[in-house]
Amino acid sequence: MEHEELEAADAVGSEEAEISNDKPEEVSLEEQLKEALNKSAELEAKLADAENRYIRLQADFDNSRRRARLDIEASEKYRAQKLISDLLPAIDNFERALQMETDSEQVKSVLQGMEMVYRSLLEALKNEGAEQIESVGKEFDPHIHQAVMQVEVEGFESNTVVEEFQKGYILKDRVIRPAMVKVNQ
C-alpha cells in the first residue's frame, strides 16, 4: 500500500507540477500576446507617422512645383518689365520734344520723324502688353497715381485727376510707373 500511496502522491505531485508548469506557459503566452499587441500598436503608430510625413512631403513637393510654375509664368509674363522701365525716360523726352512749337519747316520735319519713332516705341510697348495709364478726368487711385499736387478746380468732382505731369504705365496687371498727377480737392 505504501507503494500505491507513493504512486498516488507522485501522481498528485506530477499533476501539480503539470498545473504549475501550465501557469508559466499561460503567463508566457499572455506576456507574448501583450508584447505582440504593444509591438503592433507601436508599428501602427510608426506607420501612421510615416504616412503623415509622406502626405506632408507630397504636399510640400506639390507646393514647390506650383510655386516654380508660377515663378516661370510670372517671369515670362513680365519679361519685358526691365526694358520698358529703361525706355520710359526716353519716351518722356520724346513727349516733351513733340510738345515744342515751331514755325521752322526744317524743325517741323524733324519733329514729324521724332513722332514716327515715338509712335513706333508706343506700339512696341503695346505689343509687349504695356499701356499708358489714362488719368485726367478719372478718380484718383493711389495704386496707379502719384499725387504731387492738390488743387481746387471748378468742373471736376472731388478726388478727380485734373492734370497729368508724367504718364504712368502698366505692364499687363502690374504698375511699372504710377502717373504723376494733380488732384482736385
Q: Tell me the per-residue pLDDT of 33-78, one tens digit each, with 9 for 90 and over.
A: 999 999 999 999 999 999 999 999 999 999 999 999 999 988 888 8
What is 7-30 written as a DSSP string? HHHHHHHHHHHHHHHHHHHHHHHH
Q: Which residue has the cell 525716360?
A: 89
With a cut of 60, say whether residue 22 has pLDDT above it. no
> Residue 115 — very low, low, confident or very high, per pLDDT cuts 50/70/90?
very high
How confident is the model over 112-140, as a mean pLDDT?
Answer: 93
pLDDT at 26: 66
| Complete DSSP assignment for 115-164 | HHHHHHHHHHHHHTTEEEPP-TTSBP-TTTEEEEEEE--TTS-TTBEEEE
* Domain at 78-184, CATH class: mainly beta
pTM of the shown model: 0.62
**Band of the pLDDT at 110, cuts 50, 70, 90?**
very high
Kindly tell me if the per-residue pLDDT of 27 is higher than 90: no
